Amino acid sequence: MDLRLYPRIYRPPTQSFFLFGPRGVGKSTWAKGLFTDARRIDLLDESLYQSYLTTPEIFSSELRPLRPRSWVIVDEIQRLPLLLNEVHRLIEERRLRFVLLGSSARKLKTSGTNLLAGRALKRNMYPLVPEEIGDDFAIEKTLQWGGLALIIKSPSPREALRAYVELYLKEEIKAEALVRNLSGFARFLPIAALFHGQVINVSGLARDAGVARTTVTGYLDILEDTLLAYRLSAFEARLRVRERKHPKLYWIDPGIVRAIKKQYGPIAMEERGALFEGWVAMLLRTYGEVREIFDELYYWAPAEAHRTEVDFLLHRGREFLAIEAKWNSRVSSQALLGLKAISELGNVVRRVLVYSGRREMKTADGIEIWPIDKFHGALSQGKLWP
């Protein structure tokens, strides 16, 4: 399958920028397709990597003949953070522009790198969204195999996902020495996958994985730094109830989270809710960055009301937009409890339930009920807010 069939919605800045994203998301393909005349440097080339590692000045020497404002693509920049000193110098002295691709920001942060002190913007790339997939989009297929370009183009998504998880452990974790205890991290991963879409219980994770609580906190940082998962903070406001303080954990892709748990077959009914909610979270993160549709993203759940919550609370200016994601073809009164309760927050301009049914509806008190295509259509057309 040719990835050119799926043009991405990302637009490049006019100045140097970092582009982070998990392996296989399509960063290199996107960059090569847009910057056709750029000089490309791939740090997965071991001989090239070794030469720059021992003599970083070679990097600058090879790029010195380029004209000012020429583009240079550096793939897997996290492998050699020391090159950013040379990149900084070339931006300042030669006015070159860089596309710095990376599958992890961890080594860049831990090496004391300042990410070029504002001379390069930071962007993220996420799995494919329906707008990019077009007529080939099918929610069942997406929830089963995910939206990574690498997996979508594979003739055997099952084998590709299995290899992907093994590659992650081998190259991202072991080769980059991100953890000392690889077996402990390997035990942690499927347990963390069970928390997809749930409030994180660090003590429980530590107990089940057989590692220290502080170790689990470090493991969660690694998942975020390697861009496979992220923590969604709870919204805190001066309401009459106390909001929960613990974040929720979301994996970036439903195919990955299933592969981590070694689930490759048809989707079980008990999986659907979390997978669908996580996919909606990924859409919001994608459009939040690409189209800047909100300032902050939270979830809302009063601590005293354990069955009352709202999956996503978008904040823009002084306004809020509440979104609940439910894998149900019919809407029950129970599914609307959180959206009803959050009206007391104030400045909530829209409340939306996204579900797997086909009918668009609206309740008497103003809650809008949207099918999946209505939801991602509103995102792609910039019509999420009223």
Q: What is the pLDDT of residues 257-311, one digit of tens each?
A: 999 999 999 999 999 999 999 999 999 999 999 999 999 999 998 766 666 899 9
pLDDT at 77 over 60: yes
- The model's pLDDT over 203-229, given as tens digits with 9 standing for 90+, comes to 999 999 999 999 999 999 989 988 999
Cα separation, 326 vs 287, in Å, equals: 20
User: Helix, strand, coil: what percent of the chain each, to 5?
Assistant: 45, 20, 35
Of the residues 124, 141, 167, the one at which a domain ends: 124
Q: What is the CATH number of the domain that holds 356?
A: 3.40.1350.10
pLDDT band, residue 240 (cuts 50/70/90) = very low
Q: Residue 54: inside a domain, yes or no?
A: yes
156 and 63 together in one domain: no
138 and 119 together in one domain: no
Cα separation, 175 vs 57, in Å, equals: 24
pLDDT at 134 over 50: yes
pLDDT at 242 over 60: no
Q: Residue 343: inside a domain, yes or no?
A: yes
* Mean pLDDT calculated for residue range 69-91: 94
333 and 350 together in one domain: yes
Host domain of residue 71: 3-124
Of the residues 211, 240, 271, the one at which a domain ends: 271
Number of domains in the chain: 3
Q: How many CB atoms lie within 10 A of CB 92?
A: 11
Tokens of 29: 């393909």
* 7: nearest Cα among 127, 130, 147, 132: 132
HSE at residue 304, side-chain half, CA atoms within 13 A, is 5
Q: What percent of the chain has pLDDT over 70?
A: 93
Identify the H or E element spanning 367: none
Q: Residue 385: inside a domain, yes or no?
A: no
- Identify the pLDDT of residue 364: 96
pLDDT at 47 over 80: yes
267 and 283 together in one domain: no
pLDDT at 113 over 80: no
- Identify the pLDDT of residue 1: 40
pLDDT band, residue 114 (cuts 50/70/90) = low
Q: Residue 350: inside a domain, yes or no?
A: yes
- Identify the pLDDT of residue 236: 82
* Mean pLDDT calculated for residue range 43-53: 95
- Identify the pLDDT of residue 5: 66
263 and 285 together in one domain: no
Cα separation, 40 vs 61, in Å, equals: 15
Beta strands (DSSP E) in the chain are: 17-20, 39-42, 71-75, 97-102, 121-124, 198-199, 229-232, 248-251, 296-300, 310-316, 319-326, 348-355, 361-362, 368-371
172 and 265 together in one domain: yes
Average pLDDT, the chain: 91
Q: Residue 386: inside a domain, yes or no?
A: no
pLDDT band, residue 182 (cuts 50/70/90) = confident
259 and 314 together in one domain: no
Higher-scoring residue by pLDDT: 44, 180: 44
* Mean pLDDT calculated for residue range 193-211: 93
pLDDT band, residue 116 (cuts 50/70/90) = confident
Buried b (16+ CB within 10 A) or exposed e, 56-79: eeebbeebeebeeebbbbbbbbbb
250 and 187 together in one domain: yes
Ranking 27-31, 158-162, 235-239 by mean pLDDT, the lowest is: 235-239
pLDDT at 247 over 80: yes
153 and 195 together in one domain: yes
183 and 85 together in one domain: no
86 and 180 together in one domain: no
- Identify the pLDDT of residue 176: 62
78 and 160 together in one domain: no
Of the residues 254, 271, 288, the one at which a domain ends: 271
Ranking 164-173, 174-183, 191-200, 220-229 by mean pLDDT, the lowest is: 174-183
Q: What is the pTM of this model?
A: 0.93
pLDDT band, residue 3 (cuts 50/70/90) = very low
Q: What percent of the chain has pLDDT over 90?
A: 77
Buried b (16+ CB within 10 A) or exposed e, 23-42: bbbbbbbbbeeebeebbebe
User: Is the alpha carbon torsion for 267, 272, 276, 277 positive or negative?
Assistant: negative
- Identify the pLDDT of residue 109: 72
Q: Residue 318: inside a domain, yes or no?
A: yes
pLDDT at 243 over 70: no
- Identify the pLDDT of residue 306: 61
Cα separation, 260 vs 266, in Å, equals: 15
